[in-house]
Structure formats: structure tokens, C-alpha cells
């Protein structure tokens, strides 16, 4: 006879109902120490020490995740990570996530529980909690909406508009790995058990492919690095839509030109280049235009590079060219366009 919890977890959400689903996931959702009133009331009540930052991201099945590629735990981690990265990019400490889910009636209770566990584990790792949310029915696929809140703790937020002429452009985290993982899945080369046997027999290439696939499924941005460096940074963003596209956003917000150096980006290209034959784009394209590693691109004084960041270019006076590489303007799409 199955334990009661397991029996409940394999029942569809429509059979469990909203109260049943909430009961199923309640033990994996933990509140942060700064929470005064957590899940269960009409609103959460949080204790903060200063201004609060807020951000929201929506993940749609088939657009942002595919269940054949990612486990529900991965999807939960991914949903948390991209919101936590937005908070960290402002220099704030994540304090709470509020999660809404739209579920088709056939969604298994076990799926919802594992997704919630991924969300909660990733939030807990940075000191945040899951403080409430909403459940509703979807007539299509699964939709997950996450709102993240962060406490600046008396600091000034780090904005896109703060880049200064003469700054160094710096990066913390990986580039191109998530896009590489996506292209491997999209081409059918990655399977639930790893890289397809016929793709290659070389162990280092297989290990690299699996590392890139893991970053795509559940990115792990260096949140502590970004938060710890915030006081020394003039502008910052997390790279969600591609390095070139997000540098363009900083350039336009700050009224400057962002000049990238291909030599300084060469290590990123060399990291993913062994998989070029298995991908549809070049390593350079994946590094420059691929997003969702959620690395942090920032600008700072060239003699004050924070620990964990490295230089990849420089900020110059506005020239009518937002982003260039080796003084040559970039042409074509610069990265992901969500409504294209």
C-alpha cells in the first residue's frame, strides 16, 4: 500500500483542488527570517530596513520551458533564479518570492510539489522565502509567474543608467552556456539521460554538453558576487536576453557606447566551442547573443574591479553606436526578443 502522501502526489490537480494542492506543497515552502506573516493570510507581511525592489517574470510552457527537457524541480529553480538575478542586479538582497501558477487540470500533484521544492530551495539558498501566491486553472499549458522582492538595506540601487565614460565593462558568471544547452535540446541531441550516444563518444565533449544543458535547465547566477560588489558598480544588469542586447540597454539608458573586446571574451568562446558541430550557431554568436545564463554585466572604475568580476570591454562617449566589438558596430539581432 502506498503512503498517503505519495497517493496524493500522483493525483491530478483538478482532483486535489486548490486547498489540496496547497496542503501538498505547504511543507516545502519556508519563510525568510524577516517575514512577519507568511503564507496562509490574504497578504504576507515582511519586515524591511529601507526601500524595496520588486520584479516579475512569467514562464510559459512551450516558450520558456519544455517538460520533456526539464524536470519540475529544474523549472522551479529556473523560475526562482531569473527573478533573484533581477533583484541582485539592483544591488538588493532578495527577501521574498510570491508565486502564481496556472495549471491544466491534468497536472500531477507530484509535478506541482517538485516545482515548488525547486523554487523554495533556490530562494532559501540566498536567504529568501516563498511568502504566498495564487493557483488557478489553465486551459492550455502551465504558466508560472514569480514576483521577487528585495531589500536594499539602505544602499542606493544600481541602475542601468549609471555607466560612465571611462568605465570598464565587467562580467561575473558564464556566457553562452545556456544557449548552447538550448540548441542541443532543440536539435534533439540531448535526451533525458544525457547527450545522445551518436552525437560524440568523446568524454570531455559529453561532459561539457551536460554542463551546458544543466545551465539551460536551471541557471545558477552568482548572486552573492553581484550583491557584494554593488557598492563599487556604477551600472548593472543580469544577462537574460543576450550580452549584446543587455549592453545595448545599458548604453541607451546611460547615454554612452559599450565597446566589447573580443580578446577578453575569447575564454567564453573557447569554453563552448567544442560543441560547435552539434549546435546551429557559432560559439561567438552564443556568447554574444545567447542569454539566460543570468551572468551579471556591469560597469565600474577600471582600477576598482570587484572580486568575481572580469573586464570584457570599456565604456566610451556616445557615438550613435550602442554596442561595438573591437570598434566595429554589431549588426543583426543582438539577442532574444520576447515578442518577436
pLDDT digit string, tens, across residues 152-177:
999 999 999 999 999 999 999 999 99
- Does residue 54 or residue 199 have the better pLDDT? 54
Neighbours of 63 (CB within 10 A): 11
Ranges 136-140, 158-162, 259-263: which has the least confidence:
136-140
Q: CA-to-CA distance for 45 and 25, rounded, in angstroms?
A: 20
Q: Which of 7-21, 140-154, 284-298, 299-313 has the lowest mean pLDDT?
A: 7-21
Q: What is the pLDDT of residues 84-102, one digit of tens each?
A: 999 999 999 999 999 999 9
Question: Does 133 carry a binding-site annotation?
Answer: yes
241 is annotated as contributing to ligand binding: yes
Return the H-helix or E-strand segment holding 76.
Answer: helix 72-89
What is the chain's mean pLDDT, rounded? 90
Share of the chain above pLDDT 70, in %: 92
49-88 residue pLDDT tens = 889 999 999 999 988 999 999 999 999 999 999 999 999 9
List the domain boundaries for the chain.
Answer: 4-151, 160-329
Confidence at residue 205, expressed as pLDDT on a 0 to 100 scale? 92
Please report the pLDDT score of residue 60 as a whole number. 95
Largest Cα–Cα separation, the chain: 72
Task: Give strand pairing partners of 313.
Answer: 169, 260
Q: Which three cell numbers stand for residue 283?
A: 560559439
292 labelled binding-site residue: yes
Question: Which three cell numbers, joined as nine digits, stand for 311?
Answer: 573586464
CATH class of the domain at 4-151: alpha beta
Amino acid 1: pLDDT: 30
Residue (of 257, 261, 254) closest to 320 by Cα position:
257
64 is in an annotated binding site: yes
**Is 336 annotated for ligand binding?**
yes
Residue 277, classified by CB atoms within 10 Å of its CB into exposed (0-12), middle (13-18) or buried (19+), is exposed
**What pLDDT was estimated at residue 164?**
98
Superfamily of domain 160-329: PurM-like C-terminal domain (3.90.650.10)
Q: 1 burial class (0-12, 13-18, 19+ CB within 10 angstroms)?
A: exposed
6 — pLDDT class (breaks 50, 70, 90): very low
Q: Is pLDDT of 113 > 50? A: yes
**Is 303 assigned a ligand-binding role in the annotation?**
no
Instruction: Provide the 3-class DSSP secondary structure of residue 39.
Output: strand
* Beta strand segments in the chain, E: 35-37, 45-46, 52-60, 93-103, 129-137, 143-151, 168-172, 190-191, 194-195, 235-238, 256-260, 296-300, 310-317, 323-325, 328-329
Cell numbers at residue 301, please?
572604475
The pLDDT, as a whole number, for residue 38 is 85
Q: Do domains 4-151 and 160-329 have the same CATH topology?
A: no
Angle subtended by helix axes 72-89 and 109-125, to nearest 10: 30
More confident residue, 329 or 15: 329
pLDDT class for 7, splitting at 50, 70, 90? very low
Q: State whether residue 167 is helix, strand or coil.
A: coil
Neighbours of 70 (CB within 10 A): 22
Lookup result for grid cell 491534468: 106
Amino acid at each position: 500500500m502506498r503512503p498517503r502522501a505519495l497517493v496524493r502526489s500522483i493525483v491530478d490537480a483538478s482532483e486535489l483542488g486548490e486547498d489540496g494542492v496547497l496542503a501538498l506543497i505547504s511543507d516545502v515552502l519556508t519563510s525568510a527570517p524577516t517575514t512577519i506573516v507568511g503564507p496562509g493570510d490574504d497578504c504576507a507581511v515582511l519586515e524591511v530596513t529601507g526601500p524595496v525592489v520588486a520584479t516579475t517574470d512569467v514562464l510559459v510552457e512551450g516558450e520558456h520551458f519544455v517538460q520533456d527537457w526539464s524536470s519540475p524541480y529544474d523549472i522551479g529553480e529556473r523560475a526562482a533564479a531569473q527573478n533573484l538575478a533581477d533583484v541582485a542586479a539592483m544591488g538588493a538582497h532578495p527577501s521574498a518570492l510570491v508565486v502564481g501558477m496556472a495549471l491544466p487540470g491534468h497536472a500531477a500533484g507530484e509535478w506541482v510539489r517538485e516545482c515548488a521544492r525547486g523554487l523554495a530551495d533556490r530562494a532559501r539558498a540566498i536567504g529568501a522565502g516563498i511568502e504566498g501566491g495564487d493557483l488557478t486553472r489553465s486551459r492550455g499549458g502551465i504558466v508560472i509567474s514569480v514576483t521577487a522582492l528585495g531589500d536594499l538595506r539602505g544602499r542606493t540601487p544600481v541602475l542601468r543608467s549609471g555607466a560612465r565614460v571611462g568605465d570598464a565593462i565587467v562580467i561575473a558568471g558564464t556566457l553562452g552556456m545556456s544557449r548552447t544547452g538550448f540548441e542541443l535540446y532543440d536539435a534533439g541531441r540531448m535526451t533525458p539521460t544525457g547527450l545522445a550516444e551518436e552525437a560524440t563518444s568523446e568524454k570531455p565533449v559529453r561532459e561539457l554538453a551536460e554542463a551546458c544543458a544543466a545551465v539551460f535547465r536551471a541557471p545558477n547566477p552568482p548572486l552573492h558576487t553581484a550583491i557584494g560588489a554593488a557598492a563599487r558598480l556604477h551600472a548593472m544588469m543580469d544577462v537574460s536576453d543576450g550580452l549584446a542586447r543587455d549592453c545595448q540597454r545599458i548604453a541607451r539608458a546611460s547615454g554612452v557606447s559599450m565597446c566589447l573586446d573580443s580578446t577578453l571574451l575569447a575564454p567564453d568562446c573557447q569554453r563552448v566551442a567544442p560543441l560547435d558541430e552539434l549546435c546551429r550557431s557559432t560559439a561567438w554568436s552564443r556568447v554574444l547573443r545567447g542569454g539566460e545564463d543570468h551572468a551579471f554585466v556591469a560597469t565600474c572604475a577600471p582600477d576598482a574591479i570587484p572580486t568575481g568580476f572580469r573586464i570584457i570591454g570599456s565604456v566610451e562617449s556616445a557615438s550613435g553606436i550602442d554596442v561595438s566589438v573591437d570598434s566595429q558596430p554589431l549588426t543583426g539581432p543582438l539577442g532574444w526578443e520576447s515578442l518577436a
